[in-house]
Amino acid sequence: MRQNKGFVHIIVILLVLAVSGTIVFFVTRNERLAKAASPTPLGNLIVSPTSGSNSGSFTLTAEGVVGANGAQIDNVRYYLLNPKLGTGNNWGKADWCANPSYTQPAAPSYTDLNNNCGTFTFDISESSNPGSNYQIVWDKNTHSSGSTSYSRALTAINIPPGTYTVGLRVQDVNGNINGGASQVKVTISDGTPAPTSTPLPDLGLRFSTTYFGLKMAPGGVGVKAFNLTSTGATKFWLYTPTNSLGITFSPSEGSIAPGQTIPVYVKVGENQQFGIYTGKVYASSSLVNAQTDTGASDSITVEPLTSDSDTDGFVNSAELKMGTDPNYGCKTPSGINAWPPDVNNNGVVNSADSQAVFNAFSTKKYIARFDMDGNGAITAQDAQKVQSYIGKTCQSTVVDSDNDGFANDLEAYIGTDQNKACSLPGGLNAWPVDLNKDGGVGMTTDMVQLIQHSGVNSNSPSYDRRYDLNADGIINDADQMILKYYAGRTCTPGT
Determine, yes or no, domain membership for 131. yes
Determine, yes or no, domain membership for 11. no
Q: Within this chain, do residues 210 and 131 fall inside the same structural domain, yes or no?
A: no
pLDDT in tens, 315-344: 999 999 998 999 999 888 887 778 999 988
The pLDDT, as a whole number, for residue 68 is 85
pLDDT in tens, 52-64: 776 777 777 888 8
- Is a pLDDT exceeding 70 seen at residue 477? yes
- Is a pLDDT exceeding 90 seen at residue 455? yes
Residue closest to 356 by CA, chosen among 316, 385, 395: 385
Determine, yes or no, domain membership for 24. no
Last residue of a domain, one of 252, 275, 302: 302
Segment (H or E) for 13? helix 2-36
Residue closest to 386 by CA, chosen among 334, 332, 313, 331: 313
Q: Of the ranges 96-105, 147-156, 240-249, 311-320, which one carries the lowest mean pLDDT score?
A: 96-105
pLDDT in tens, 201-247: 899 999 999 999 999 999 988 999 999 999 999 999 999 999 999 99
Higher pLDDT pick, 66 / 180? 66
**What is the arithmetic mean of pLDDT over 447-459?**
91
- The structure's pTM equals 0.56
CA 35 – CA 118 distance, rounded (Å): 27
**By percentage, how much of the chain surpasses pLDDT 90?**
38
Whether 134 contacts 65, CB under 8 Å: yes
Q: What's the domain range around 441?
A: 316-486
Q: Within this chain, do residues 273 and 146 fall inside the same structural domain, yes or no?
A: no
CA 313 – CA 315 distance, rounded (Å): 7
Q: What is the largest CA-CA distance in the chain?
A: 141
- E strand intervals along 260-351: 261-268, 275-285, 292-302
Higher pLDDT pick, 133 / 192? 133
Structurally, the chain folds into a number of domains equal to: 3
Residue 461's region, left for phi above 0, alpha for psi from -120 to 50, else beta, is alpha
Q: Within this chain, do residues 295 and 358 fall inside the same structural domain, yes or no?
A: no
Determine, yes or no, domain membership for 8. no
Cis bond before residue 341 (omega within 30° of 0): no
Higher pLDDT pick, 415 / 191? 415
Q: Within this chain, do residues 459 and 368 fall inside the same structural domain, yes or no?
A: yes
CA 139 – CA 53 distance, rounded (Å): 9
- Is a pLDDT exceeding 90 seen at residue 81? no
Q: Within this chain, do residues 429 and 329 fall inside the same structural domain, yes or no?
A: yes
Determine, yes or no, domain membership for 12. no
Let me know the angle formed at the C-alpha of 199 by 196 and 202, rounded to the nearest 5 degrees. Answer: 170
Determine, yes or no, domain membership for 384. yes
Let me know the angle formed at the C-alpha of 109 by 105 and 110, rounded to the nearest 5 degrees. Answer: 35
Q: Within this chain, do residues 405 and 289 fall inside the same structural domain, yes or no?
A: no
CATH of the domain at 228: 2.60.40.10
Last residue of a domain, one of 275, 302, 329: 302
Q: Within this chain, do residues 283 and 182 fall inside the same structural domain, yes or no?
A: no
Beta bridge partners of 206: 229
Rounded to the nearest integer, the mean pLDDT of the chain is: 77
Q: Of the ranges 114-123, 173-182, 344-353, which one carries the lowest mean pLDDT score?
A: 114-123
- Is a pLDDT exceeding 90 seen at residue 74? no
